[in-house]
Structure 1
Amino acid sequence: MKIILKEYLASLKERGDLDKSVLPNLLSEIGLRVLNTPMIGTRQNGVDIAAVGKIKGEEKQRYLYLFCIKAGNISRSDWSAGVQAVRPELDEIRDVYLRSNVAREHADLPIKICLCCGGELEETALMNWAGYTDRYTTDKISYEEWNGDRLADLMMRCLLARELLEEEPRRNFQKAVAMVNEPNVCYEYTRAFLGNLLLEEHSSQKDQLLRLRQSFICLHAVISWAIEANNLESTYRVSELGMLFCWNLIRKREPKKRPTKHEETLTFIFDQFLKLYLTTSEMYLEKTAYAHGGTPHALSVAVRSRESVDVNLAMFELLGRLATRGIWTDLLSKRLPDADPYFLKSLTESTNRTLDTLVSVINSNPALSSPIRDDHMIEIALVLYLAQLTQSESRFLPWLKSISHRTTFALITNSQYPTCLRDYADLLAHPESADQSYLDEACVGSILYPYIYFWMQYVADEREIKEFTERLKKKIPNCTHQAWFPDEESDDLMWCGETHHGICVTDVSPHNGHEALVETLNKAIETCAAISDVSAVRTGLIPMFLTACRHYRLPIPPSFWFLRK
């Protein structure tokens, strides 16, 4: 276990990984109070993290800890110059930070200046370090080296110790790390150790925070190893899963004008899970959709399969991930008005880039106009939801019109029309037969056709609408057209993957006409009011709810089909 942790720590980058994700959680758990974490664009005066307190089991008096953090190993070439230069920052701590940045309440505390790195201080730099510390050590100021071995020891003792991290989550975590090259297997083992840590009842608030920190550290380690193995599929899936599990644990908080210290810490940890998800999603999309979305058929060919089913499934998965990221960045840009202007600008630019990429991907990959699974309605609805948020529906309505034509034409020609079958073997063989009995089985129910029909009043003329409904009536007259709403149990079940909940509204057949469909949906929205009590919706984090729907294949409720303006 310690070897795994040391390798993980050595691979971390200073900015954003070791200094923002790992070390603050570790310091909090070993008994220190973190005073500040680094911010981009501000002067640090040599100190990346400041903390105060005494380390449990090691010290009897309080210290002011000042951490100078570096990535990987520190060699002689890093001592005085370069990106990782150590000495200039140590000098700045003495000359600037200690003179002007120490709060009055901490002025009398003895000081420990810690050179922290995920790797080790190489032999070539040891003499420089020894000479420097010998020269500047005083009765009040001392120096310590916190290398990967020291950090791994603290993690083993305070976060992942055998008496704290039980055998089952420890074993599942190690298996997840070992299988980062296999996305499905890595996902299942990650789900297992997150479930071990976060789904059980916690006896105290302290235990709850410990489990969340353990989960984040383990998840971060899995993602780091997956990045090292160049497997971004694993990083995306497990980071999204971790965010949903974290939300499940903290969702019962009630917003207060003056939150307690425990609630503030929960919010901080959740922000770390969310940032990890947004970072990994950007890495994934940068290598896929952003890079190759505008090249005709490039992403489809990259699936590397002779089966059209594989291409179809992969492309809709990518489409959903793109739309979900755009929804998140749009929300954050509107919800953080007091944030740094450059950060807000980057969020807006990211949303616009995502929209442009969605258009390019759709235009460059015709498979996205012919969904093979009925639940691809989820991805289509997410794209249209983002389009409405950004007032860019007109860019996607021609695509929706193409879907309405191709899906029903596929029914007429009996060629890979949308089916509610989900088993991969069934999809490969679909359609097995042109018999009505098979059609009734393959299209026993549909969430896709009611959604398409709902939007056809904005994209099609009367002739096209009539043709659409007549084809459905002719080929799948027994199909139950339906929509889904959460119920009172959904908020307790959906975040961890339970799908047997919710309310099914079945009287939404296109055969009844647009007015009847809209009337039924409006009545259902008024009646099925439990969606307002879903924690993410209630607190304004609608993207969290939509992410869970996509992740666990729950239909997008009609409440998000059309935004009233």
Structure 2
Amino acid sequence: MKLILKEYLASLRERGDLDKSVLPNLLAEIGLNVLNTPMIGTRQNGVDIAAVGKVKGEDIERFLYLFCIKAGNVTRSDWEGNPQSVRPELNEIRDVYLNANVAKEHADLPVKICLCCGGEIEETVLMNWAGYTKQHTTDKIHYERWNGDRLADLMMRSLLARELLDEGPRGDFQKAVAMVNEPGACYEYTSAFLRGLLLDAQELPEKAQLLRLRQAYICINAITAWALEAKNLESIYKVSELGMLLCWHVVRKSLPEDKKPTKFHRSLHALMDQFVKLHLTCSELYLAKTAFAHAHKRHALSVAVRSREAVDVNLAMFELLGRVAIRGIWTATLALNQAESDSEFAQAMAESTQRSLDVIVELINNNPTLHSPFKDDHMIEIALVMYLAQLTDSVPRFVPWLTSVGEKTTFALLLNSNYPTAHRDYVDLLNHPASNDDEYRSEACSGSILYPYLFVWLANTGTEEEKFGFCERLKEMLPNCTYQAWLPDEDTEELIWQGETYHGVCVTDLSPQNGLNEVAKMLNLAIDNCPDINSISAVRFGLVPMFLAACRHYRLPIPPHFWFTSS
């Protein structure tokens, strides 16, 4: 375990990884109160992180800890040569920070100035370090080296110690790291590790909850770092999204809605923020190499699936479509939430949202398979795209696509060619359609969430001819299909974040043959009588993307509350 952690620490970048992700969590867990973390664009006066307190099991008295952080190994060229080198920053701490930046309540504390790196201080620098620290050590100012070995020891002792990280989660974590080259195995072991660590964390005392979340975050960071090094982008996306959802499962009950937040609440909020940022970072890395880079090229992404089977291409392309859409929903929501408090950030999020919209249009135009979903639950991806379109007033860009999907999926029934099926097993999908018999078609399409969704949109945006043809083809080919929708119930909030799918309310009798008025009446009645969407924690806290991400991740239908929200 220590070797794994040392390799992980050595691979971290200074900005954004070691100083903002790993070290603050570690310092909090070993007994220090973190006073500040680095901000880009502001003068640090040599100090990347300041903390105060006693390191558990080491310090007898309280110290003011000042960390100068460097990524990887500290080499001869890192020691001196430019203002960001080690020696100039150590001088700045002594000459500027200690004289101008220390708060009154900490002014009388002894000081420890720590040179911190994820790797090692190389032998060519050790003599310089020894001479410098001997010259400047006083009764009040002390110097320490915090290299990768010390950080790994502290993590083993305080975050990932044997008695804190049980044998089951520890073994699954090590297996996940070992299998970073295999997306499926890496995800399964990570899922087992996270569930063993987090599913019962809600019942623990506050400190234990924070410890479990920090353990999970550090380990997910390690897994994604190695998966990225192994160029396994699939794993970094799925693992980071799963971590975010399970983290929310822990923090959702403890976040205050009306009462004043405590230190514990602020720590929970900060950890949740880190999980979301990690997933959005992994999402950006994944999409930068896939959709963002190649969506504009005709068939490029479809060919990249490298399969002769049409079903493989279809599944992969709809998966990609859903990931671009959910990222756009995240950035659009963040832009709206931060419009007043941080206009610069909101503008950046709005630009990212526009990029996602443009890429979705390119994906659809350059990969015709996206007009012909093979699975009925591809309604999820289609609904996410249209929800994003409504958030951004971009519906007209996607109406032709919806019309095309409605036409092709129903004509596929007439042709007995890859029409959407309720089957989810890969072998069943590979052999679909296995027969032209009415009996087989009735079984393969025993229920549908896709066709009611398409009908609602066609009835509102399509022509009478398009709507009539759509309904007539369904009437002829699927007379016994149960057209339905899913809504959350009172159990959904407790179960959805951990991946349970046996909850919610199924509304039937949404047949397009009944007409829009009757379908709309049934949907509105269901929405009025099933108000449990309002008890979903993510919805209450303004994090609708979290709920939609859970639906997509665990393959639950998008509820009708998010179908057609335009007036």
Partner Cα distance (1:122, 1:40) in 2: 28
The match for 2:394 is: 392
Counterpart residue identity of residue 5, structure 2: L
- How do 1:421-436 and structure 2 match up within 5 A? 421-436=423-438
The match for 1:85 is: 85
The match for 1:119 is: 119
Counterpart residue identity of residue 213, structure 2: L
Name the SS of the counterpart of 2:546 in structure 1: helix
Counterpart residue identity of residue 27, structure 1: L
Counterpart residue identity of residue 409, structure 1: F
Structure 1, residues 497-549: CA drift from partner, whole Å, max 9, x if none?
10000000001110101111111111111111111111111211111100000
Shift of 1:230: 0.9
Q: Is 2:20–2:37's contact at 8 Å kept on the other side of the alignment?
A: yes
The match for 2:210 is: 209
- Tell me the TM-score normalised to structure 2 length: 0.98
Structure 1, residues 331-375: CA drift from partner, whole Å, max 9, x if none?
111112354443222111111111111111111111100000000
The match for 1:401 is: 403
Q: Is 1:377–1:451's contact at 8 Å kept on the other side of the alignment?
A: yes
The match for 1:12 is: 12
Q: Is 2:63–2:109's contact at 8 Å kept on the other side of the alignment?
A: yes
Partner Cα distance (2:9, 2:378) in 1: 40
Counterpart residue identity of residue 141, structure 1: I
Q: 1:561 aligns with which of 557, 563, 566?
A: 563
Structure 1, residues 55-74: CA drift from partner, whole Å, max 9, x if none?
00001000000111111011
Name the SS of the counterpart of 2:109 in structure 1: coil
Partner Cα distance (1:388, 1:41) in 2: 36
The match for 2:250 is: 249
Q: 2:281 aligns with which of 279, 282, 290?
A: 279
* Counterparts in 2 of 1:503 and 1:83: CA distance versus 1, 3 Å: farther
The match for 2:48 is: 48
Partner Cα distance (2:55, 2:247) in 1: 27
Counterpart residue identity of residue 354, structure 2: N
- How do 1:21-420 and structure 2 match up within 5 A? 21-81=21-81, 85-201=85-201, 202-253=203-254, 254-420=256-422
The match for 2:2 is: 2
Q: Is 1:400–1:459's contact at 8 Å kept on the other side of the alignment?
A: no
Counterpart residue identity of residue 299, structure 2: H
Name the SS of the counterpart of 1:433 in structure 2: coil
Percent identity over the alignment is 67
Q: Is 1:70–1:84's contact at 8 Å kept on the other side of the alignment?
A: no
Shift of 1:79: 1.0
Partner Cα distance (1:402, 1:361) in 2: 15
Q: Is 1:319–1:379's contact at 8 Å kept on the other side of the alignment?
A: yes
Partner Cα distance (1:82, 1:561) in 2: 57
The match for 1:542 is: 544
Counterpart residue identity of residue 460, structure 2: Y
Q: Is 1:71–1:119's contact at 8 Å kept on the other side of the alignment?
A: yes
Shift of 1:84: 5.9
Shift of 1:75: 0.5
Name the SS of the counterpart of 1:50 in structure 2: strand
Name the SS of the counterpart of 2:409 in structure 1: helix
The range that moved more, 121-130 or 105-114, is 121-130
Counterpart residue identity of residue 459, structure 1: T
Counterpart residue identity of residue 184, structure 1: G
Structure 1 unpaired stretches of 5+: none
Counterpart residue identity of residue 225, structure 1: W
Name the SS of the counterpart of 1:161 in structure 2: coil
Shift of 1:462: 0.9
Structure 1, residues 217-247: CA drift from partner, whole Å, max 9, x if none?
1111111110111111100000000000000
Name the SS of the counterpart of 2:52 in structure 1: strand
Shift of 1:27: 0.2
Name the SS of the counterpart of 2:357 in structure 1: helix
Q: Is 1:412–1:471's contact at 8 Å kept on the other side of the alignment?
A: yes
Partner Cα distance (2:6, 2:562) in 1: 46
Give the superposed CA RMSD: 1.1
Partner Cα distance (1:132, 1:317) in 2: 56
Counterpart residue identity of residue 553, structure 1: R
Number of equivalences: 565
Name the SS of the counterpart of 1:556 in structure 2: coil
Q: Is 2:83–2:89's contact at 8 Å kept on the other side of the alignment?
A: no
Counterpart residue identity of residue 495, structure 1: W
Partner Cα distance (1:468, 1:344) in 2: 41
Counterpart residue identity of residue 18, structure 2: L
Counterpart residue identity of residue 518, structure 2: A
Q: Is 2:338–2:345's contact at 8 Å kept on the other side of the alignment?
A: no
Q: Is 2:390–2:566's contact at 8 Å kept on the other side of the alignment?
A: no
Structure 2 unpaired stretches of 5+: none
* Counterparts in 2 of 1:339 and 1:221: CA distance versus 1, 3 Å: farther
